[in-house]
A = this chain, B = another copy of it.
């Protein structure tokens, strides 16, 4: 479950440090799509002295080095996603939580027909409710 974070960082060209490992440890092992502040809060549970700037620096570093993906929600909050492969997103209207949708669950066609646009990447953003949820409050 939890491989050697130290190695993962190094493999992606990031020099490890206690703080960076702590951040990576958390953010690479959750599917919760946390915000930067959430990451900071979590990490501080085991590493109380880490500064905000370091958390932000580390997250940005990880994004730059392809270890993490940044995603901005409709309400403007930006969250991080350890799932760096292509996938779509479903946003729960009620809780705001994001769920990853496997790439192959959806198919977008007619992309070729877009005259004048050279598409590098795309993604479907869905919004709605989870079916059969008995209203769990966040």
Q: How far is the CA of A113 from the CA of B120 in the complex (A)?
A: 26
| Copies assembled | 2
Q: Is the interface of A mostly helix, strand, loop or mixed?
A: strand
Q: Which of A4-12, A18-26, A46-54, A69-77 contacts B (4 or more CB under 8 A)?
A: A69-77
Residue contacts A-B, CB under 8 angstroms, 29 given:
A72-B73, A72-B74, A72-B76, A90-B114, A99-B117, A105-B113, A105-B114, A106-B109, A106-B111, A106-B114, A107-B108, A107-B109, A107-B110, A109-B109, A115-B131, A117-B126, A117-B130, A118-B128, A118-B129, A119-B127, A119-B128, A120-B127, A121-B127, A121-B128, A122-B124, A122-B125, A122-B126, A123-B124, A124-B124
Give the interface of A toward B (CB within 8 A): 70, 72-76, 78, 90, 93, 99, 101, 105-111, 113-132
Q: Supply 19 further A-B pairs (C-beta < 8 A) apart from A105-B110, A118-B128.
A: A72-B76, A76-B76, A90-B119, A99-B117, A101-B117, A106-B108, A106-B111, A108-B109, A116-B130, A117-B128, A117-B130, A117-B131, A119-B126, A119-B127, A120-B127, A120-B128, A121-B127, A121-B128, A124-B124
